[in-house]
Each structure stands twice: as structure tokens, then as C-alpha cells.
Structure 1
Amino acid sequence: MAMKDLLTEENIKKAMDAFKAADSFDYKKFFDMVGLKAMSADSVKQVFKLLDVDESGYIEEEELKFVLKGFSSEGRDLTDKETQTFLSAADKDGDGKIGIDEFEALVHE
């Protein structure tokens, strides 16, 4: 399965274009623009599985840095500041990584 099987290419491109500049990434706006916020919890969990590149059951800080590339090969790397902001917002149990339920909760926050 690929990201374009879950989200429209048009929405992915629109969201990528909106956050091209370094330090412009806003996960809440991104989730809304890409169409994640409107998806069911199960569909959001399918997206999580695509972003969990090493299939560990978590999105670790190193994977999070490349999260936009998970949506599109043209996506940029997140800056260290953006990565930390995203991780801090999602990591509710403080283990330094984002679990599938934490990700789904953040998307639907």
C-alpha cells in the first residue's frame, strides 16, 4: 500500500507546497490539509504504518525527521526544531517515540 492509496495526490501536493520553507511545518494544519483529520481512526493507523519505516510499531525521532517524505518523495526533511515540536506534541507517555495510538490521537486532537 502507498500513501496515495489512502490520501488524494492533490491534497498531498497542496500540503507539501504549503510547508516547503524550513521551520514552516505545522502538524495540525498539515493533517487537515492532507486530509488525515477527516479520516477514520483505522485509516489514520494505516497512514501511521506507512510512516513507521522500520516497522517497530513506533515513529522514532529519526523517522519523524523524514515524515514529509513518507507522504511524497518531494517532501523536505523537518528541521530539528520542527521534529522536536512534533515529537513533544505526540509523545504523551514520554518514551521518546510516537506510538500508533498517540499518532491517531494527535491527528484527531
Structure 2
Amino acid sequence: MAMLDLLKAEDIKKALEAVAAEDSFDHKKFFELAGMKAMSADNVKKVFQALDVDASGFIEEEELKFVLKGFAKDGRDLTDAETKAFLEAADKDGDGKIGMDEFEALVHE
């Protein structure tokens, strides 16, 4: 499923513009601007599946660095500090990766 099947192009653009500067990524602001906070849990899980590039059932740190490119090809890479902060915010069980339920909980927190 393509991201544009789940989210509006203008919302994605707005969210990406808000985090365009390096070290400006704020997952809460991004999820809200992209329209994800208002989505059902099922649709957030579909977004997760689109971001889980290797279909492992988890978003690992390597995938997380490129998460903005999952929303749009011209999305920037997250810095190492942003990647670590995002992972720490979402990884509630401490296994070093983000599961589908952790991702959904983070979007709706």
C-alpha cells in the first residue's frame, strides 16, 4: 500500500517542510501535521507496514534513519541524534527496534 493511499499529499508535504532543517525532527509534530494522529489504529498500522522496508515486523534503527523517505522520495535522512531520540521514544520494551504496536502507541500518545 502506498503512503498516498493513506495520507494526503499536502499533509505529507507540510509535515516534511516542518522538519526540513537538520535536528528539527519532532515525531509528535510530524505525526500531527501528516494527519496520522487522527487516523484509526488500523490505518496507522498500514503506515507502519509501508515504513517496514524489509517486512520484518519491526522498524529497526537502520530503517528509522530513512523513515522520512518512506513518506516522500525527497524526504531527508534523520541525523544519528534524531534517529536515536525517535527510537528511544518508541521502543518501550527496550529491544532496540520499534514494533507495530509501539509505533501505533507513539503516534497516538
TM-score range, shorter chain: over 0.9
2 CA distance for matches of 1:104 and 1:13?
21
The aligned counterpart of 1:8 is 8
Residue 53 of structure 2 is aligned to residue 67 of structure 1:
no
The percentage of counterpart residues that share the same residue type is 74
- CA deviations on 1:28-64 (whole Å, 9 max, x unpaired) are 0000000000000000000000000000000000000
The aligned counterpart of 2:46 is 46
Matched residue pairs, number? 109
Unaligned runs of at least 5 residues, structure 2: none
Output the amino acid matched with 2:81.
K
> The residue matched to 2:21 in structure 1 has which SS?
coil
The aligned counterpart of 2:55 is 55
Deviation at 1:18, TM superposition (A): 1.0
Relative to the length of structure 2, the TM-score reads 0.99
4+ residue stretches of structure 1 with deviation over 4 A?
A: none
Root-mean-square deviation over aligned CA pairs? 0.3
Deviation at 1:26, TM superposition (A): 0.2
2 CA distance for matches of 1:107 and 1:82?
16
Output the amino acid matched with 2:53.
V
2 CA distance for matches of 1:81 and 1:30?
16
Aligned residue runs from structure 1 range 18-29, under 5 A: 18-29=18-29
Unaligned runs of at least 5 residues, structure 1: none
Residue 108 of structure 2 is aligned to residue 96 of structure 1:
no
Output the amino acid matched with 2:19.
F
